Amino acid sequence: MESTDELTDARIRTAVREAQVAAGRSLLSTILWTVLAIFSVLVGLQLVQMGGFTDGLASAGFVLGGVVVTGCSLYLLYLLHWK
């Protein structure tokens, strides 16, 4: 890291501009993954619901798939917002 005596206005502006771009990308990425995770929770719940209307092995498959998709999506939301 450089000492503060060697910093110029142009270098400071460049550093701030790069940080703003990185922060903007991070925010957009968080929003995108949040929307996808919420959509995936809904898909998982729909699979569980489909499992309730089918019989036999297909029912177990739908329910298991729905539980896995919902659990993974909720874990992604946890990682994105609370960890």
Tens digit of pLDDT for each residue in 3-52? 666 788 888 888 888 888 888 888 888 999 999 999 999 999 999 999 99
Range of the domain at 49: 4-81
Cα–Cα distance, 80 to 70 (Å, whole number): 15
Distance of CA 67 to the CA centre of its chain: 18
pTM for the model = 0.74
Please name which of 48, 43, 41, 39 lies closest in space to residue 71, comparing C-alpha atoms. 41
Provide the domain count of the chain: 1
Tens digit of pLDDT for each residue in 12-26? 888 888 888 888 888
CA distances to 30, 36, 38, 39 from 78, in Å: 12, 13, 11, 15
What pLDDT is stored for residue 42 in this prediction? Answer: 96
